[in-house]
Amino acid sequence: MDCLFCKIAAGEIPSTKVYEDDRILAFRDIAPQAPTHILVIPKTHIPSVAAITPEHSALIGHIFEVIPQIAQAEGLENGYRVVSNCGPDARQTVHHLHFHILGGRPLEAQMA
Ligand code: AMP
């Protein structure tokens, strides 16, 4: 499948990994929008939040257990934002489910 994040998950395209286990990978965004900008992805291909089904529940739960571990390891004790863009109105550009972790400075109050 011609999916950038599938290739990153498979190690075919390099990334700056910050966390990896058998189900998920976290790596630094190539165009960071905050001092800390990390993407967390499932290794299996799920196109977006809109494609999440009950069979993904354990995987999604696992992602949200690991996110605070990553945030702690990154020193984001002052807070951080978790974002997932879904579909064209949200300007999703990579069609493989990913959660942005943004932090390291006070973020804009406006969400959209
Ligand atoms: P989104 O716009 O929500 O789909 O986010 C896609 C994100 O992937 C953007 O923040 C990009 O900067 C990031 N990105 C694209 N290519 C790479 C890459 N090769 N390595 C790391 N991050 C990437």
pLDDT, tens digit, 9 for 90 and up, residues 2-37: 999 999 999 999 999 999 999 999 999 999 999 999
Q: Is 37 a catalytic residue?
A: no
pLDDT of residue 64: 98
> In terms of Cα–Cα distance, which of 73, 64, 72 is closest to 42?
64
Backbone angles phi, psi at 6, to 5 degrees: -60, -40
Give pLDDT tens digits for 33-59. 999 999 999 999 999 999 999 999 999
Map tokens 């499948």 to a residue.
1
Distance separating alpha carbons of residues 13 and 7, to the nearest angstrom: 6
Tell me, in angstroms, the distance from the centre of ligand 1 to residue 58's CA: 25
pTM summary value: 0.98
Query: Ligand 1 test: best mutation among 30, 48, 97, most atoms within 8 Å of CB?
Result: 30
Beta pairing, strands 24-28 & 36-42:
antiparallel
Ligand 1 centroid to Cα of residue 26, in Å, is: 12
- pLDDT of 79 > 90? The answer is yes
Around ligand 1, the residues with Cβ closer than 6 Å are 4, 13, 15, 29-31, 39, 85, 91-94
